[in-house]
Amino acid sequence: MSTITVKDGTEIFYKDWGTGQPLFFHHGWPLSADDWDTQMMFFLAHGYRVIAHDRRGHGRSTQTDKGHDMDVYAADVAELTAKLELKNAIHIGHSTGGGEVTRYVAKFGKGRVAKAVLISAIPPTFMQSERNPDGVPKEAVDSIRNGTAYHRAQFYKDITIPFYGFNRPGANVSEGIRENWWRQGMMGSAQAHYECVRVLSETEFFDDLKAIDVPVLVMHGEDDQICPFPTTGARSVKLLKHGQLKSYPGFPHGMPTTHADQINADLLAFIRS
């Protein structure tokens, strides 16, 4: 397996396939680099170099109890991109990975990043607060924390239903997709996932979004039951210097999987633009 050992001794697993302009994919909570396999296969076939890592505590990376903070997540990515000597890269993040992209590009991307993409992402902020009165209520976030800490195996089965919009009338429910989500989640550390709920729900990205000076495509499903469209994607694009919003009526949070053909085509168009 390919790994890098970062400053605090944590090993970060990554995949690195192909040549050409690098596309770096950042996964959501509580998943792994495997969640991007469909996109990595597609863009590899189109001549790009595709990279994805397992965030610390997730997937095949070290199940450490340290460093569960968005600044550390971004610093881990910075160490990996430096090792791989990535230049002119495009960073693409889904959900929590979109927050990681936002923080990384704002803090470390100068001269290294060409563009960025936020898909169904948590910025500018996720949980309800004075600054985000329409955000996800703390009670809902606490239920995610509780499920992760004490009922993880069943909770991870249950959450796939709203994640992929499988509770909507006429939805084509894929047990394979649900089981793959569960597999990825159960590979990681319960403690790391528990801490990551705090990170994804409480971190604010208002200043990061304003600081980014490269083109950013914000892609968001209008039926996202995890990161509600009006308070995340639609707000993020207003804070970006060079932001572009592409919203999808009826698409769920997990649209890179359920609607991969459409998402891949739109990503390719933005990358080539």
Question: Active-site positions?
Answer: 95, 224, 253
Residue 131: how many CB atoms within 10 A of its CB? 10
Q: Could you check whether the bond before residue 30 is cis, i.e. omega within 30 degrees of 0? A: yes
Nearest to 167 by CA among 88, 253, 60: 253
Measured distance CA(155)–CA(84) in Å, rounded: 36
Measured distance CA(184)–CA(31) in Å, rounded: 5
Measured over the CA atoms of residue 114, residue 118, residue 122 and residue 123, the dihedral's sign is positive
SS3 24: strand
Burial 31-48 (b: 16+ CB within 10 A, else e): bbbbbbbebbebbbeeeb
Cα–Cα distance list, 103 to 45, 93, 116, 156 (Å): 29, 11, 11, 27
Residue 216: how many CB atoms within 10 A of its CB? 26
Residue 237's Cβ-side half-sphere holds a number of Cα atoms within 13 Å equal to 17
